Amino acid sequence: KQEVTQIPAALSVPEGENLVLNCSFTDSAIYNLQWFRQDPGKGLTSLLLIQSSQREQTSGRLNASLDKSSGRSTLYIAASQPGDSATYLCAAMDSNYQLIWGAGTKLIIKP
């Protein structure tokens, strides 16, 4: 059974730092991996989608990588800003096209 883990559960860094959020999964048979952002009391906003045949995707200051062989994905945020403060969720799509979710990393960027 696929399990997705996100470490750390919470992270607080000063503004301007580059940071990495981690997502690991136990079964490499995934169709894709998607990163989302969730602000308090809000829905999920899709950040990046990496298909299983891809190694990385970039959008602005965000870069997500995927290594299926090691069961890992990372979300890199460059030059962090207070507006980046949110909970970041990763989800792996399994062989039934269902998303398996991590519990999220709560990120706080201090001004």
Partner 1 sequence: DGGITQSPKYLFRKEGQNVTLSCEQNLNHDAMYWYRQDPGQGLRLIYYSQIVNDFQKGDIAEGYSVSREKKESFPLTVTSAQKNPTAFYLCASNPQGAAGYTFGSGTRLTVV
Among residues 77 and 90, whose Cβ is nearest to partner 1? 90
Task: Report the nearest approach of partner 1 to the CB of residue 51 (Å).
Answer: 7
For partner 1, the closer CB: 41 or 60: 41
Q: Closest distance between partner 1 and the C-beta of residue 6, in Å? A: 9
- For partner 1, give the closer residue by CB, 92 or 109: 92
Q: How far is the CB of 101 from partner 1 (least distance, A)?
A: 4
Q: How far is CA 89 from the centre of its chain?
A: 5
Q: By the criterion CB under 8 A, which residues form the site for partner 1?
A: 4, 31-32, 34, 36, 41-46, 49, 51-52, 89, 91, 93, 97-99, 101-104
Q: Please give the Cα distance from 74 to 5 (Å, whole number).
A: 12
